[in-house]
Structure 1
Amino acid sequence: INTATMAYGGIPKDIENYVSAPYDPRFPNTNQTRNCYQNFIDFHRCKKVRGEDFEACKYFKRIYTIICPNAWIEKWDEQIAEGRFAGKI
């Protein structure tokens, strides 16, 4: 029994189902910039081939939305829409 949790009425709803990105052996260091970028690229490649509702595509999207700063995601999405994104998708 966790008395600290009980004293405050349980776990708050906004963190009850919190999930962090799992360990990826391709990116063992603390700096997760490459991990962020790679999952962003992997999502868009997967979406192009399989569609956004494919389970693996959802996984890549979930990981990059956890790891990447929102400003980067917005910037990259804007670049993709304008046809000037540097990555190969």
Structure 2
Amino acid sequence: MSEEIKPTSEVPAAETAAPENPLHTVGFDARFPQQNQTKHCWQSYVDYHKCINLKGEDFAPCKVFWRTYSSLCPVDWVEKWDEQREKGIFPGNVNVE
């Protein structure tokens, strides 16, 4: 038997509610014109951590970098980079000099 599709008016609100952190597509960045966005992911991750180290986590413009790397970077990469930063072996420079 096939499942009956409910009209929108019959779908409970909990099933149609927007997610707390909706996904979005990152806009075009002329520095990264190619299809492969690995460098864009990396640079956004590094820029975010430089920004919060300089201005603090509450500085709103830093959130642009966070949203970008959160959208582009695989979770496994971010977890690995976070571990590397904690151990002091992260290959990028996120310290403000």
Higher relative contact order (CA closer than 8 Å, sequence separation 6+): 2
State the distance in 2 between where 1:22 and 1:76 align. Answer: 24
- Count of aligned positions: 83
Aligned-residue identity in percent: 41
Which consecutive residues of structure 1, in runs of 5 or more, have no partner in the other structure?
1-6
1:65 partner amino acid: S
Q: How does 1:35-50 map to 2 (within 5 A)?
A: 35-50=40-55
1:13 to 17, 31, 47: 17
Show structure 2 runs of 5+ residues with no match: 1-5, 10-15
Give the TM-score taking structure 1 as reference length: 0.82
The alpha carbon displacement at 1:14 in A equals 4.2
Larger Rg: 2
- Decide whether aligned partners of structure 1 residues 79 and 18 sit closer, same or farther in structure 2, where only a CA change above 3 A counts: closer
Q: How far has the Cα of 1:8 moved from its partner?
A: 5.1
Root-mean-square deviation (CA), in Å? 2.2
**Are 1:86 and 2:85 counterparts?**
no
Runs of 4+ in structure 1 off by over 3 angstroms are: 12-15
Instruction: Look up the match of 2:32.
Output: 27
Aligned equivalents of 1:64 and 1:79: distance in 2?
A: 17
